[in-house]
Structure 1
Amino acid sequence: MPKAPDTVTLELPAHVRWLPAAQAVVEHGAPTLGLPPKKVMRLVMAVEEIFVHLARTTPGCAVLLRLLRRGSSVQAVFRFQADVEDLWAMNLTAAQELTPTDENMDHMGLLLAAGVSDGFSITREGGTVQLVLSQDKVYPETTPSDRGLTAARGALRMVDDPHPAEVAEACALARGLYPAEKLHPDLSMAGKLVDNAAGGGIVLSVAKDDAGAILGMMFWEQTSERSVGFCGPYVFSQNSGPVAKALTENMLNCLARSRTIGVCSRRATDDLPLEGFEALARIHYCHKNIVCAEQRIWFRLLREDDGAVIWAHAGMVDFLEETYARLSLMRDIRTVENIGIEMPARSVFAAELNQELSEAHLRVLIPGLDVEENIRKHAAHLRSSGYENIFFTLDLALGEQACLGGALMANGFEPALVLPFAGKSDLVVFQHVASRS
């Protein structure tokens, strides 16, 4: 008999008398899915606020609530029919606009739900809205190892399903040997990396010698159906070349059996063997008390590109044409500045923040008429909060996103790199130019 998924589903009307049922599902289900008590209460609070908001703004509408485990997090997923007009209060900058008045109570609840969540996302499919609230599980920090590099004994072998203790050792070695800007954030919490691998979010392999010593590690994740982003190779051997090559070739061999067309580095180390890779971009990174430096992003095409039609604001076209010519990718670029569809008055952005690396990644969840002002507010808020590396990603398959390139460039952003195949089509990443000062 097939194993049931770790998911609880509840369908109920948006009315406050049903709030205890939604609360109970999260209170009792989230601990079963591995969330600790304090995190459970934060998820309960966020679910309460969203449910009460729906009961006030769309009373009686059908709400589908799912609770599930996804790798290292537990998620509460809402699906409902509603206007997205009021969801702007989930923006990172909404607190600057809201005061605790009666007319703002609905918005205050959304602000609180976003604030207590470790992550959230909003998507629309026709008239149906899907809102996802996430809470990350808690993991102990992995202490960097001071062991240094190891002399290999015997032949190399790849292990594609390493034991958690081996992953923990590899994470500790990577933290001890590589600078912070080369490290994926999950390397600081080996248990999180293990859970994400077990949940299928990433694929992880280690290199070992005949004596069982761990000589290296590399991992990657499917960023879309046709694209993979990788980190590493992290090498712990005195003879780094053969280990780095073996880890990279192992990844490419695994992907050869998939539908992946292109691979792109997310945190590539200097050990990456460059044969077959193209330099995708040079990104300027600044860190606290450290001079700004360049980090190179690498790309490799695994099979023939059939070409694609993409959308772009006119101000992005020269950058895109140069990039695609350099990568020998066929793209039919259609310019768009205003697609003329009716949009909400207020836009909503998602923000992924990494304080240690002074890094913020923004993306649009709901385009709105205020998008240019919202971009300006987010950039100013992040800069004043100490974030020096601010990025904004658009999907060029979507005209309503591609046309935002003009608003980004009007507010201090410049196109920095293209990630082929990484979204519905290619993604273009903008960087706030103030990050280079």
Structure 2
Amino acid sequence: MDAKKTETISLKLFSDISLLPLATSFVENGSKVFGLSSKDSLSLALATEEIFAYLCRVTQVPFNLEILAQKGGYYVKVDFLLPIEDFNMRIFNIASSISLEDEQGLEELGLFIASRKVDRFQLSELSPGRIILSLIKEKSYPETDNLRIPEPEEAESYSIKRPSPEELKLFVVITDSNYPRLLIPKSFRYPGKVVDMFLSGHYDAALAYGETGSIVGGIVWQLSGPKTVEFFGPYVFSKSFSKDISQDLLDSCISSIAKSPVVALINRLPTDELPKEQFELLGALDIVKDDNSIVSLPTYF
């Protein structure tokens, strides 16, 4: 699996409210350069505004901080490097609420707004007394509903190889139209997003091709931890060699990570084609569908 490819720009300043326009302009313009739309860049800039203003309000003496903007392929991440340990993360809980009837609630309102302007956020310790608050905003992509869906073809023979970006995009479209959405990751609804994740090293993949070059199957995987890989599939569109294609796709995934620190594979969206006898059942999650029926989704390890 390729290392994630990133580009980073940084801004060093101190917590003075007069520098607020500088901080927001840096984030908004940097996000646009890194591929976010104007709307998404503005959302990230507004989150930055609320956090920077909060920091200026709650500190008695201005302190030095650094803001990093990082291009992550399908997202932009903004890091705040802060020399404080008591930053209030409670309000970033998606289930949290605030009261506007007291001063503390009003102070936290900006953080509440910031947390809802981004897709994800993280808090980690950089060193004793220093933390990193990360805001992540993903790019907007069109869904597969707006794309022409080709019919899968039967194959008399096949080969396995790593796809080009356009081939992967076509595979995602075919998969989304041939498998229940319960069995495919949400990212597959946005082919362009999957391609960006692939190009930036967040995803890797192997596809099966028929003798005419048509796509007859595929598998996608990603790091789920330092020593764990999560994979999606195998997805097979040709019934002629369904079992063989599934096994060869899985073997391709294993071969790709064989010399890495990875020691475990996990699949939380198992298809019928997955050779389940080679895995252990960890458990199952009950999913309530739109029609209120319940589907049990097993996890294999």
> TM-score, normalising length from structure 1?
0.64
Looking at structure 1, the residues matched to 26 and 149 of structure 2 have their Cα atoms a distance apart, in angstroms, of 45
Give the equivalent residue in structure 1 for 2:280. 278
Give the equivalent residue in structure 1 for 2:153. 150
Looking at structure 2, the residues matched to 265 and 145 of structure 1 have their Cα atoms a distance apart, in angstroms, of 29
CA displacement at 1:232 relative to structure 2? 0.7
Say which SS state the counterpart of residue 266 (structure 1) adopts. coil
CA displacement at 1:243 relative to structure 2? 1.3
Give the equivalent residue in structure 1 for 2:260. 258
Q: Deviations over 1:239-290 (max 9, x none)?
A: 2211111111100111112111111113221111124211121222222214
Name the CA shift for 1:5/1:223 in 2 (closer, same or farther; >3 Å).
closer
Q: CA RMSD in A?
A: 1.9
Looking at structure 1, the residues matched to 246 and 76 of structure 2 have their Cα atoms a distance apart, in angstroms, of 34
Structure 2 contact 165–199 (Cα < 8 Å) conserved: no
> Does residue 131 of structure 1 match 2:133?
yes
Looking at structure 2, the residues matched to 183 and 214 of structure 1 have their Cα atoms a distance apart, in angstroms, of 17
CA displacement at 1:147 relative to structure 2? 5.0
Looking at structure 2, the residues matched to 227 and 181 of structure 1 have their Cα atoms a distance apart, in angstroms, of 22
CA displacement at 1:148 relative to structure 2? 5.0
Looking at structure 1, the residues matched to 262 and 154 of structure 2 have their Cα atoms a distance apart, in angstroms, of 35
Structure 1 contact 230–268 (Cα < 8 Å) conserved: no
Structure 2 contact 7–72 (Cα < 8 Å) conserved: no
Give the equivalent residue in structure 2 for 1:289. 291
Give the equivalent residue in structure 2 for 1:232. 233
2:96 to 94, 97, 100: 94
Name the CA shift for 1:85/1:178 in 2 (closer, same or farther; >3 Å).
same
Say which SS state the counterpart of residue 169 (structure 1) adopts. helix
Name the CA shift for 1:184/1:147 in 2 (closer, same or farther; >3 Å).
same
Structure 1 contact 150–238 (Cα < 8 Å) conserved: no
> Does residue 196 of structure 1 match 2:207?
no
Name the CA shift for 1:157/1:52 in 2 (closer, same or farther; >3 Å).
same
CA displacement at 1:210 relative to structure 2? 2.1
Give the equivalent residue in structure 1 for 2:53. 52
Structure 2 contact 268–298 (Cα < 8 Å) conserved: no
Looking at structure 2, the residues matched to 167 and 5 of structure 1 have their Cα atoms a distance apart, in angstroms, of 21
Looking at structure 2, the residues matched to 222 and 5 of structure 1 have their Cα atoms a distance apart, in angstroms, of 16
Q: 2:203 corresponds to which letter in structure 1?
A: I
Give the equivalent residue in structure 2 for 1:26. 27
Q: 1:74 corresponds to which letter in structure 2?
A: V
Structure 1 contact 153–211 (Cα < 8 Å) conserved: no
CA displacement at 1:109 relative to structure 2? 0.4
Unaligned residue ranges in structure 1 (runs of 5+): 300-437
Higher relative contact order (CA 8 A, sep 6+): 2
Looking at structure 1, the residues matched to 86 and 220 of structure 2 have their Cα atoms a distance apart, in angstroms, of 37
Give the equivalent residue in structure 1 for 2:247. 245
Q: Which moved more, 1:97-106 or 1:275-284?
A: 97-106
CA displacement at 1:291 relative to structure 2? 1.5
CA displacement at 1:153 relative to structure 2? 3.4
Q: Deviations over 1:27-83 (max 9, x none)?
A: 221111000000011000001111111111134122111001113111111110223
Looking at structure 2, the residues matched to 180 and 210 of structure 1 have their Cα atoms a distance apart, in angstroms, of 28
Looking at structure 2, the residues matched to 195 and 134 of structure 1 have their Cα atoms a distance apart, in angstroms, of 15
Name the CA shift for 1:147/1:9 in 2 (closer, same or farther; >3 Å).
closer
CA displacement at 1:119 relative to structure 2? 1.2
CA displacement at 1:158 relative to structure 2? 1.8
Structure 1 contact 164–191 (Cα < 8 Å) conserved: no
Name the CA shift for 1:212/1:222 in 2 (closer, same or farther; >3 Å).
same
Give the equivalent residue in structure 1 for 2:123. 122
Structure 1 contact 148–173 (Cα < 8 Å) conserved: yes
Say which SS state the counterpart of residue 267 (structure 2) adopts. strand
Unaligned residue ranges in structure 2 (runs of 5+): none
Q: Deviations over 1:393-429 (max 9, x none)?
A: xxxxxxxxxxxxxxxxxxxxxxxxxxxxxxxxxxxxx
Say which SS state the counterpart of residue 135 (structure 1) adopts. strand
> TM-score, normalising length from structure 2?
0.91
Q: 1:282 corresponds to which letter in structure 2?
A: A
Tell me how many residue pairs correspond in the alignment: 293
Structure 1 contact 175–187 (Cα < 8 Å) conserved: yes
Give the equivalent residue in structure 2 for 1:16. 17
Give the equivalent residue in structure 1 for 2:171. 170
CA displacement at 1:191 relative to structure 2? 0.6
Looking at structure 2, the residues matched to 12 and 261 of structure 1 have their Cα atoms a distance apart, in angstroms, of 43
Structure 2 contact 115–121 (Cα < 8 Å) conserved: yes
